[in-house]
């Protein structure tokens, strides 16, 4: 066991973790933030995507111990219904960018990361950036629209 210090959705925490504990399991089971999902546990599907120091990472490919000293944002820290939805969440709702919802938190985190880098992405740029996040339900058509929707909302906010 080792002690780590981590800021979780803006709140500083000190937690004891086993060396081999995956960041994903730490988030879901120790922090009880179950919005982050396990899709493959081998880094291929992106369902477990979270932001670590603002960068999208796959929490199934990291140990919790590696997040020591970091700032972690999960889907629960992004925004919530009814009055604090993030524009990306709004976009997914408006454009029907989700069906079963299982890949959705990871998809939203990856989209936030994308828009932070590129506030006005093209269709191709969205598809390229989200190619590492697998969705089995939507065929991605409405996910692309959802990201455009969020990007447009972001531009409106700035003008």
Partner 1 sequence: MRDLSAYSVDHGIEIASPNMLGASVKRVEDPRLIGGHGRYVTDVERPGMLHATFVRSPEAHALIRAVDTTAARELPGVVAVFTGEDLREATSAIRADAGYPTWQTSARPILAVDRVRFVGEPMAMVVAVDRYVAEDAASLVMLDLESLPPIMTVDQGLAPDVEPFHDGWETGCYVTRSKESGDVDGLFAQADHTLKLRMTTQRYAAVPMEGRAVVAELDPHDEVLTIWDSTQVPHLARTGISQHLGHPEHRVRIIAPDVGGGFGLKCMVFPEEIAIPFAARALRRPVKWVEDRVENLTASAHARDARDDLEIAFNDDGELLALKAHVVIDSGAYSVWPYTASMELGTAVNQMPGPYRFRAYRGEGAAVATNKTPHGPFRGVSRVAATFALERVVDEVARFLDMDPIELRKRNLIRSDEFPWESPGGYVFDSGSYIESLEKLAEMSDVAELRRRQRDLREQGRYIGIGVSCFNEQTAHSFAEYAERGTPVVVGYDKAHVRMDADGKVTVFVDTHAQGQGHETSYAQLVAAQLSIPFEDVRVSFGDTETAPAGMGTFASRSMAMGGGSIQLATRDLKAKLVRLAAHMLEASPEDVELREGMFFPAGAPARSVSVREIARMVHLQSNKLPPGEDPLLETSYSYRGDPGTGTFPNCAQLVVVDVDPDTGKVTLLDYFVVEDCGPVINPMLVEGQIHGGVAQGIGGALFEHSLYDEESGQPLATTFLDYLMPGATDVPDIRLEHLYTPSPWTPGGVKGAAEAGTTGSPAAIANAVADALRGFGDVLVDELPLTPERVYAHILAARAAQATPATPDPR
> Which region, judged by CB under 8 A, interacts with partner 1, from 61-69, 76-84, 114-122, 151-159?
76-84
Residue 134 binds to partner 1 (criterion: CB under 8 A)? yes
Stretch binding partner 1 (CB under 8 A), from 61-69, 113-121, 132-140, 151-159? 132-140
Least Å from the CB of residue 123 to partner 1: 7
Are the C-beta atoms of 124 and 118 separated by less than 8 Å? no
Q: How far is the CB of 121 from partner 1 (least distance, A)?
A: 12
How is the chain classified by DSSP, letter by letter? -EEEEEEETTEEEEEEE-TT-BHHHIIIIIS--TTS--S-SSSSS-TTEEEETTEEEEGGGSBGGGGTT-EEE-GGGT-BTTTB--HHHHHHHHTT--SS-SSHHHHHHHHHHHHHH-SS--HHHHHHHHTTS--SSSTTHHHHHHHHHHHHHHHHHH-
> Which of 6, 8, 31, 37 is close enough to bind partner 1 by CB under 8 A?
37
Residue 105 touching partner 1 (CB under 8 A): yes
- Tell which one of 4, 138, 150, 151 touches partner 1 (CB under 8 A): 138
Mark the segment that binds partner 1 (CB under 8 A) among 63-71, 74-82, 114-122, 149-157: 74-82
Write out the residues near partner 1 by the rule CB under 8 A. Answer: 18, 20-21, 28, 32-42, 44-45, 47, 74-76, 78-82, 85, 89, 92-94, 96, 98-105, 108, 123, 126-128, 130-144
């Amino acid at each position: 066991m080792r002690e780590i210090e981590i800021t979780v959705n803006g709140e500083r925490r000190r937690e004891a973790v086993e060396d081999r504990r995956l960041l994903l399991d730490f988030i879901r089971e120790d922090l009880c933030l179950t919005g982050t999902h396990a899709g493959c546990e081998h880094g291929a599907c992106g369902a477990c995507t979270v932001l670590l120091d603002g960068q999208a990472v796959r929490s199934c490919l990291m140990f919790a111990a590696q997040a020591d000293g970091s700032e972690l944002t999960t889907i629960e820290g992004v925004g919530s219904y009814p009055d604090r939805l993030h524009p990306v969440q709004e976009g997914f709702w408006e454009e029907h960018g989700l069906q079963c919802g299982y890949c959705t938190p990871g998809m939203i985190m990856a989209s936030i990361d994308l828009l932070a880098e590129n506030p006005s992405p093209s269709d191709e740029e969205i598809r390229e950036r989200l190619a590492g996040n697998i969705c089995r339900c939507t065929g991605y058509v409405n996910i692309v629209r959802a990201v455009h929707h969020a990007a447009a909302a972001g531009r409106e906010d700035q003008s």
